[in-house]
Amino acid sequence: MGRCLLCNTTSPMISNKLGVCLRCIRENEDAALGITFQVHAKSRSKYDLPSTPPTDLEGIKCGLCMNNRRIQIDTKGFCGLVYNVNGKLSRLGGTQERGILQWYYDPLPKNCVAEWFCPGCRRSWIS
């Protein structure tokens, strides 16, 4: 049972972590967004990630994700995987010997980028 931090309503439909009910999100948007931004920042800080995408105009443009932000020297991008090291972008874990694999498992086989090993997709092209 969650409790809304704005109107004090309790309901199983209110997230214990977020702490804002749908009515307050709709009717008191600014206050609700303030709370959600705080929760978001707190959850990202546990993993040493920036709470908002970097906005340094002098930084290097990343281009790895839709945020497409500029990363200041000696800081990391919003994802935490890209660093600006002495003016050059570096991907976490990316070296000549190893890299970062990006994929997702989609339970709807028509969209799965991992089709070659996805159990839902294999049946369609094996038989």
Domain span including residue 19: 2-45
Q: Domain total for the chain?
A: 3
Residue 71 located in a structural domain? yes
Given a contact cutoff of 8 angstroms between Cβ atoms, the answer to whether 64 and 79 are in contact is yes
> How far is it, in rounded angstroms, from Cα 63 to Cα 74?
17
Residue 97 located in a structural domain? no
pLDDT at res. 13: 92
Residues 59 and 88 in one domain: yes
Residue 98 located in a structural domain? no
pLDDT at res. 91: 79
Per-run averaged pLDDT (10 residues), the chain, 127 residues: 94 91 94 93 87 84 82 86 87 61 58 55 48
Residue 64 located in a structural domain? yes
> How far is it, in rounded angstroms, from Cα 16 to Cα 22?
13
Residue 32 located in a structural domain? yes
